[in-house]
Amino acid sequence: MTDMPFIILTCPECQVKNRVKSYDAAKIPVCARCRAQLVAPEENKVHAKYGRSLKNFFNLPNVGLRDGKDD
């Protein structure tokens, strides 16, 4: 997997599903159709912090600790 994962957010105004690849705490994602904000400002800060953490750990090598089995 080479691309960062994205999240699908449903617009609270027009119900269109929007694909958001990354968050920036200074920019709140808006709907592609009606331009309504997809998340509240405080929620956006949390998502931005999570996105930075995900970027830091996204391409770490697999050292065999996760075998894909559910215990």
Q: Where are the domains of the chain?
A: 7-57
Distance between CA atoms of residues 43 and 25, nearest Å: 9
pLDDT < 70 regions, the chain: 1-5, 51, 54-56, 58-60, 62, 65-71
Judge contact between 29 and 19, C-beta under 8 A: no
Please tell me the predicted confidence (pLDDT) of residue 16: 97
At residue 6, the pLDDT reads 81
Output the CA–CA distances (angstroms, integers) from residue 61 to 25, 36, 45, in the order listed.
28, 39, 28
The model scores a pTM over 0.85: no
Look at residue 69 in the predicted model and tell me its pLDDT: 57
Region of 35 (left: φ > 0; alpha: ψ -120 to 50; beta: rest) is: left
